[in-house]
Structure 1
């Protein structure tokens, strides 16, 4: 079994990019199948918890800020015939950014699950002592003029676990922090010379890419895992949502119109003049009366709807189909900002 210590920066980079969900899900499947275990130093879990909100915010807000600026410039300076098309395209893109930004929350949840299920490792006094000694000697990650306590704790935790384990267990350390952990000159996929004794290349290996580690160790399994996990439902374009909403509105309005025709034919609703409607009891108006001028406009609107939508797309529907159509409109309106169950037409 492979035991992997994954640096905090790797987890955060995986969380911020929805396209990396395939890797997270592959790790989850390998953990579930007992092919790997994740070593989780306390400091890694704490750092991830401290930074996850910032990552989620940045994933959604950074590009949206740029698009807001671009939209303002286009709206202010573009020619009219170009402006509308461009603004519509920018609105489409902004909506997709927002929806994909929400996917970051899923990634964070999955990563937290992996961190919780991993092999938790506290920062012992022995680790703290070795961190101090490493700092005094100026050994990596203390070879640069910066506070590297966190990085030193992580690498000393890895050292303690690998040194204490005499079983036939393989270990791997994964980081994106090449400035603190990798060779300062040369191949940055290799560890800093100060850290080289921790990595013999067989029992213990150093990686700057989690994907490359998984490919190297699980070549056959990974193809199947990626095939199963390599999916992300592309958000519908805003224009698609609006077109679908428009059709549903027409279908629901037309169905209500046909029901009113039936009510008029049965005498349950009367077509009256505006004067008659105004003189009627207010409770009677809404239940049993319709103004003749409004009814004429409704008949013309129905004919336009039949031409636009096609009579074959306007029912009749059974109770189940009618419920589905209303549910779809409610859901799409909720996505675009309305309250649930907003079915006015």
Structure 2
């Protein structure tokens, strides 16, 4: 076990942060820095059983997705090149894509390696079981509709997580002991009406400006906890922010297109339900009034099936409704990514 001192930071890292560290090769340097800070006793993990169990349930999926998501994207790119590519360059492009395809299994191996490193950190940490008192306080949050139950969803695991953290902060400890909570789940843990770097007001009593800190990225947490050591470790790891790969851009465009289309579909659905738009067996042309244009029934039935697929793929929690700011961000991201790949600005067709 690493040697601890009153200056040791006790850090609870949410499961989503561990999973993202495992699947994103760009976070390998951050993971290495965390390992070093733990080894030197600068950081001690607060490790709830619920985090370990959730990580174990999802690690196989992370390994599979690390190569599968890129493989499916690469296949789509190859199909496009095959159909529409410049005949003079097509062979060379396809050869390079095939070389990338051949190397894809190494991405899965990288995820396996990261998962092994995380499990080693878990093995060296005492696991905190969920007490009855924690369960009761988490249940009371649900009754009171306090975060993380403020979004009409089952947030019992998140509630247990924050209550275990609260126990740690409240426990008797040497003077100067400090704590930190790290999560990527800003919708459930962050302030809904201010910066998402602030905790939700329902959890505010568990945090302070000095003794108990809230972070939404692991890198930011490590930088705040041990600035000099973290900077040195990053230099040692030669960590740089690499440009996004084409596959990441294409995947992001696909997701944003799905979400924009789904929002428009829901608007059209409301118009049908309240009678502003009619369903007809067969649409007639030319259309005289586009504002009152009906929808052909079989086309609408196909749209409903497509919407169900989108809901299954992303989950209803990730499909809105969004406020004006969030909706603007989604459309802005889609426009920017399409511009990078050659479209004109404000190209939002779905």
Range of TM-score over shorter length: 0.5 to 0.7
How far apart are the structure 1 equivalents of 2:83 and 2:148?
A: 51
Tell me the secondary structure at the aligned position of residue 40 of structure 1: strand
Query: 1:280: which partner in 2?
Result: none
Tell me if the contact between 1:140 and 1:181 (Cα under 8 Å) persists in the aligned partners. yes
> Over aligned residue pairs, what C-alpha RMSD do you find?
1.8
How far apart are the structure 1 equivalents of 2:75 and 2:138?
A: 46
Which of 1 and 2 has greater Rg?
A: 1
How far apart are the structure 1 equivalents of 2:88 and 2:207?
A: 63
Q: How does 1:1-345 map to 2 (within 5 A)?
A: 1-78=8-85, 80-168=87-175, 169-230=177-238
Count matched residues. Answer: 233
Shift of 1:122: 0.3
Deviation track 1:205-255 (CA, whole Å, cap 9, x = no partner) reads: 1111110111112111112222333479xxxxxxxxxxxxxxxxxxxxxxx
Deviation track 1:274-294 (CA, whole Å, cap 9, x = no partner) reads: xxxxxxxxxxxxxxxxxxxxx
How far apart are the structure 1 equivalents of 2:114 and 2:221?
A: 20
Tell me if the contact between 1:37 and 1:119 (Cα under 8 Å) persists in the aligned partners. no
Query: 2:292: which partner in 1?
Result: none
Gaps of 5+ in 1: 233-345
Shift of 1:82: 2.4
How far apart are the structure 1 equivalents of 2:162 and 2:238?
A: 32
Shift of 1:19: 1.4
Deviation track 1:45-76 (CA, whole Å, cap 9, x = no partner) reads: 00000001111111111011111122233334
Tell me the secondary structure at the aligned position of residue 221 of structure 2: helix
How far apart are the structure 2 equivalents of 1:158 and 1:22?
A: 26
What TM-score do the two structures reach when normalised by structure 2? 0.63
Shift of 1:79: 5.1
